[in-house]
Amino acid sequence: MINPDQEHYIDLHMHSLYSVDGELTPTQLVDRCRQAGIRIMAVTDHNSVKANFEAGTAAAQAGIHYVPGIEIDCRFKGRNLHLLGYGIAVDSPDFLALEERFIEQNIAASRERLKRIRELGFELAEEELEAVAGEGHRPQIWTGEMFAEVLLAKPEYSGHELLKPYRPGGARSDNPYTNFYWDYCAQGKPAYVEVELPSLEQAIAIIHKNGGKAVLAHPGISLAGNLGLLQEILPLGLDGVEAGSSYHNAQTTLEIYRWAEENKILVTGGSDYHGKNKPAIKLGGYRRVLAEVEMEQDLQEAGLLPKR
């Protein structure tokens, strides 16, 4: 178990600009990891492996061990889940096809999301969203975080009641853009737009087909209120769970860790760093239940790190 005085140097969940809600280039992300003392890292962009090529090279030059990764949006029993894939063959055409399908659907979903945000009483022009999205990799896709960034910057909405929780001092001001997404654009919320996602079984199969390990991301939030579903997911081929997460409190972290130990599967940890969209989240900043040396040993046993 973790000793709070021990060194922290592993972060296996972060995003570059190849994620629709990421900010930094892969090389910039590696440099930030170097500055933060991260020695083992993985870039896990949403539905894209493109960052891995640049990040892997930059990490090697920085003396950081790099684990190839991805985070696949998928669905299980009506719930939207995120599945991390580690140690994957990033040059596989399977991942390119996955990304192309994701882009196609989310361009259409962005226009529908704009319509629903307008129905909440906000006036927004496509050009305003394009100006923000143009800083990233996919300027035609507008996320909930981008809507928040534009709305919070508009002077005419400085006193708008719906936006007060996201302004300094507000109840949701720690990560205002991401919290706006969870409150208005996530599954079941007013501006949610459904897209066709692969099933969890399909996502696991893609990762396994390409030599990787399938790890469920932040189950404490994606399975909130129903962690019992982990027992139903396990037989589908799940290799691990992300017990260490910036989203988990101490009780949830320990509960997920104990479940993983009982079922003899991999325990991982990561910050889910995005940059400006989640300003309260820092690289390496997540709640841990395993000492770094223990996690490193487990990653070695799983074949994701070379044994020393």
Q: Are residues 237 and 286 in the same domain?
A: yes
Is residue 272 over pLDDT 70? yes
Q: Are residues 174 and 207 in the same domain?
A: no
pLDDT digits (tens, 9 = 90+) for 156-199: 999 999 999 999 999 999 989 989 999 999 989 999 999 999 99
Domain boundary residue, one of 153, 185, 217: 185
Q: Strand, coil or helix: what is 218?
A: coil
Strands of 40-41's sheet, edge to edge? 10-11, 40-41, 65-66
Across the chain, the runs of DSSP E, i.e. the strands, are 10-11, 40-41, 65-66, 69-76, 79-86, 213-216, 240-245, 266-270
Number of domains in the chain: 2
How buried is residue 211: exposed, middle or buried, by Cβ count under 10 Å (0-12/13-18/19+)? middle
- In this prediction, residue 223 carries a pLDDT of 95
- In this prediction, residue 279 carries a pLDDT of 84
Q: What span, in angstroms and rounded, lies between the C-alpha atoms of 141 and 143?
A: 6
Give the CATH number for residue 287: 3.20.20.140
Q: Are residues 123 and 178 in the same domain?
A: yes
pLDDT digits (tens, 9 = 90+) for 6-49: 789 999 999 999 998 898 999 999 999 999 999 999 999 999 99
pTM: 0.90
Percent of the chain with pLDDT over 70: 97
Q: Are residues 125 and 83 in the same domain?
A: no
Task: Tell me the residue range of the domain where 108 lies.
Answer: 100-185
Q: Are residues 33 and 65 in the same domain?
A: yes
The mean predicted confidence, pLDDT, of the chain is 94
Cα–Cα separations (whole angstroms), residue 276 to 15, 108, 255: 11, 25, 30
- In this prediction, residue 2 carries a pLDDT of 65
Q: What span, in angstroms and rounded, lies between the C-alpha atoms of 70 and 302?
A: 17
Domain boundary residue, one of 185, 217, 239: 185
Q: Tokens 């019992």 map to which residue?
A: 228
Give the mean model confidence (pLDDT) for residues 67-76. Answer: 98
Domain boundary residue, one of 128, 151, 185: 185
- In this prediction, residue 140 carries a pLDDT of 87
Strands of 266-270's sheet, edge to edge? 69-76, 79-86, 213-216, 240-245, 266-270
